[in-house]
Structures are given as C-alpha cells and as structure tokens.
C-alpha cells in the first residue's frame, strides 16, 4: 500500500463520489478472474485493489469526523501492525 496513492484516491472520493471507486473495485476484481492472467498482472491488480479498499476505509473515517491526516496515519499504523 502506498500512502500517497491512498491520499490521492481519498481526494477523488471527496470531489466525486465513493460509487466510482466501488465500481472500479468491482471491475478490477472481475478482471482478476479472467483466464490467462499472469502472476505479475495479478500482483498489480492486487496492489491497486489494496489501495482502493484502503482509500474507502480512510474516506469513511473522514466522513465520521476524523481529520484526514489522522485517518491516513491511523490506517497505515493498522496496516503496518497487521504485517508485523
């Protein structure tokens, strides 16, 4: 996951609508099921999906009243904690 990318997607959600990101996730998940997808392509799809899901999570926290910077940092701390 890349924090700058998640932040950028959160800004997109703020400007446009969460539905765009949800539909993008659905498309990428459908694409991942296509026959003949190579391992490298699956890795890219997985990374994109992780960032999109992360952005939705951060966006929900911001809508609940958490400042954006705090929501981003808190999300990354949770991710890093789950990796360790």
pLDDT in tens, 30-78: 999 999 999 999 999 999 999 999 999 999 999 999 999 999 999 988 8
Encoded tokens for 29 = 């998940």
The per-residue pLDDT for 83 is 66
The per-residue pLDDT for 37 is 95
Q: How far is the first Cα of the chain from the last one, in angstroms, to the nearest whole number?
A: 15
Q: How many residues make up the chain in this entry?
A: 84
pTM for the predicted model, two decimal places: 0.89
The per-residue pLDDT for 79 is 83
Residue 27: is its pLDDT beyond 80? yes
Encoded tokens for 67 = 């400042």
């Amino acid at each position: 996951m890349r924090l700058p990318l998640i932040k950028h997607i959160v800004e997109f959600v703020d400007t446009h609508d969460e539905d765009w990101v949800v539909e993008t996730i659905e498309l990428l998940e459908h694409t991942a099921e296509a026959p003949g997808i190579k391992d490298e392509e699956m890795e890219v799809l997985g990374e994109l999906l992780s960032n999109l899901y992360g952005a939705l999570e951060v966006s929900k926290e911001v809508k609940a009243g958490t400042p954006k910077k705090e929501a981003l940092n808190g999300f990354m701390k949770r991710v890093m904690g789950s990796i360790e």
